């Protein structure tokens, strides 16, 4: 009899499995896919660590979490500085003096602030949605060229139907600083993320290619308690209806050039280009290989059978989640965690934090 059955070998499950094992618990991890690491899975192609489920840049201000991940693997000093392409114009992200000087041909922070101040006058009162939030942060010009098309492709909704908090992820700065994140610590595991999860799961029994929901009767019997990191609505057979997710489709190509776009991430912000961004993986790790691997990223509405990536935390879905959560709270000997289990647009550091906090309560 296992103490814990962990469903899902992504960061939440792997951290829990690691900590529980450290405390002497007997743990079995089951994973639906044929590999561990969930959506942070990386795979070596042409000597390059390819982020198979989209770009993952680890960033955190939580020193404990930074020290935690660094105790398993070494991180490089990659700093995310994406470039946005709107038709034939290139802009630096996040929105900073490089962006503003290119957009308006200005030179000083004062000039940039004056323009934005003037443009944001059209929004009065507290921003009610992403469009209003964006305009009140950076004005209409930047909204139209760098935000509207990208966001509508990513979420397939009008910007007036998307919650404002999503754009608050992006900093706005009046310095010439292209660092996308505000966090104190940032980097990517030198040998890819898969190794991080391998290290977490070292010495723990992991069964890949096992779908918990398909075999729940028999698997349930194997352990005293289940830690479930899959989609919460799937666990309940969608009995209250489906939660909405965004899914992503990637087109991967190996190209016979050493440098395709000169940057790890280039966002295509116009509506007419069907993909949202192109990732050139080698630049996450300063690769000097002769070839390069790129991924075009297409955002789609999730439907049954697709991989869910992003929960859509709008009012309607959050409410449905709360109903599922109430059901979950009534279930015995099972806990729900992670981006899908908690239906929350979590970054990696937050998932690990959430898992470690749960460990503190659970593993006394
Ligand atoms: N965003 C944007 N233009 C960009 C990049 C981001 O408008 O070029 C906005 C958009 O609303 C998006 C949000 O910022 O939904 C978060 O984007 P990000 O790429 O950081 O999300 P990720 O997929 O990396 O979690």
For the cut 90, the answer to whether the pLDDT of residue 170 exceeds it is: no
pLDDT, mean of residues 216-234: 98
* Averaged pLDDT score across all residues of the chain: 97
229 alpha carbon – ligand 1 mean position (Å): 25
Give the containing element (helix H, strand E) for 151: helix 149-155
Q: What's the rounded Cα separation, in Å, for the pair 121 and 234?
A: 45
Q: Determine what percent of the chain is predicted with pLDDT higher than 70.
A: 100
pLDDT the model gives residue 364: 84
**Any atom of ligand 1 within 6 Å of the Cβ of 42:** no
Angle at 254 between CA 253 and CA 255, to 5 degrees: 110
**Any atom of ligand 1 within 6 Å of the Cβ of 170:** yes
- Asked if 220 is an active-site residue, the reply is no
Instruction: Check 144, 156, 306, 345 and give the catalytic one.
Output: 345
pLDDT in tens, 308-327: 999 999 899 999 999 999 99
pLDDT in tens, 5-52: 999 999 999 999 999 999 999 999 999 999 999 999 999 999 999 999
For the cut 80, the answer to whether the pLDDT of residue 169 exceeds it is: no
The model carries a pTM of 0.95
pLDDT the model gives residue 117: 97
132 alpha carbon – ligand 1 mean position (Å): 16
Instruction: Check 152, 198, 297, 335 and give the catalytic one.
Output: 297
312 alpha carbon – ligand 1 mean position (Å): 14
pLDDT in tens, 110-166: 999 999 999 999 999 999 999 999 999 999 999 999 999 999 999 999 999 999 989
**Any atom of ligand 1 within 6 Å of the Cβ of 278:** no
pLDDT the model gives residue 13: 98
Among protein residues, the one whose CA lies closest to atom 19 of ligand 1: 267
pLDDT the model gives residue 91: 98
pLDDT the model gives residue 273: 98
For the cut 80, the answer to whether the pLDDT of residue 268 exceeds it is: yes
321 alpha carbon – ligand 1 mean position (Å): 23
**Any atom of ligand 1 within 6 Å of the Cβ of 354:** no
pLDDT in tens, 181-211: 999 999 999 999 999 999 999 999 999 999 9
Q: What's the rounded Cα separation, in Å, for the pair 348 and 331?
A: 27
pLDDT the model gives residue 192: 98
**Position with higher pLDDT, 314 vs 67:** 67
Instruction: Check 64, 74, 114, 169 and give the catalytic one.
Output: 169
- Asked if 314 is an active-site residue, the reply is no
**Any atom of ligand 1 within 6 Å of the Cβ of 92:** no
Q: Is 359 helix (H, G, I), strand (E, B) or coil?
A: helix
pLDDT the model gives residue 168: 82
- Asked if 277 is an active-site residue, the reply is yes
358 alpha carbon – ligand 1 mean position (Å): 29
pLDDT the model gives residue 4: 98
pLDDT, mean of residues 57-81: 98
């Amino acid at each position: 009899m296992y103490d814990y059955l962990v469903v899902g070998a992504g960061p939440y499950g792997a951290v829990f499995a690691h900590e529980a094992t450290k405390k002497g618990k007997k743990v079995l991890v089951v994973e639906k896919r044929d590999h561990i690491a969930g959506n942070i899975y990386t795979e070596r192609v042409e000597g390059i660590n390819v982020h198979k489920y989209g770009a993952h840049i680890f960033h955190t201000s939580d020193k404990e979490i930074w020290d935690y991940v660094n105790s398993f693997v070494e991180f490089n000093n990659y700093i995310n500085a994406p470039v946005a392409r709107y038709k034939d114009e290139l802009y630096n992200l996040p929105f900073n003096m490089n962006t503003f000087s290119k957009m308006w041909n200005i030179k000083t922070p004062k000039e940039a602030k004056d323009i934005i101040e003037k443009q944001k006058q059209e929004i009065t009162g507290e921003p009610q949605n992403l469009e209003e939030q964006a305009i009140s942060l950076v004005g209409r010009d930047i909204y139209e060229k760098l935000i509207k098309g990208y966001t509508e492709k990513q979420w397939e909704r009008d910007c007036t139907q998307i919650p404002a908090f999503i754009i608050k992820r992006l900093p706005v700065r009046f310095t010439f600083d292209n660092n996308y994140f505000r966090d104190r610590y940032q980097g990517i595991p030198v040998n890819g993320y898969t190794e991080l999860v391998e290290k977490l799961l070292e010495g723990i029994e992991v069964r890949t290619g096992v779908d918990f929901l398909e075999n729940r009767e028999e698997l349930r019997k194997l352990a005293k308690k289940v830690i479930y990191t899959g989609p919460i609505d799937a666990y309940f057979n969608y009995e209250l209806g489906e939660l909405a997710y965004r899914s992503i489709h990637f087109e991967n190509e190996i190209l016979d050039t050493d440098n395709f776009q000169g940057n790890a991430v280039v966002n295509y912000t116009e509506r007419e280009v069907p993909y949202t961004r192109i990732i050139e993986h080698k630049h996450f790790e300063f690769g000097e290989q002769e070839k390069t691997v790129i991924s075009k990223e297409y955002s789609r509405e999730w439907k049954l059978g697709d991989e869910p990536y992003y929960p859509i935390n709008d009012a309607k879905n959050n409410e449905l989640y709360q109903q599922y959560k109430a059901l979950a709270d009534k279930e015995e000997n099972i806990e729900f965690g992670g981006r899908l289990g908690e239906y929350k647009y979590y970054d990696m550091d937050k998932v690990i934090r959430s898992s470690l906090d749960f460990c503190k309560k659970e593993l006394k």
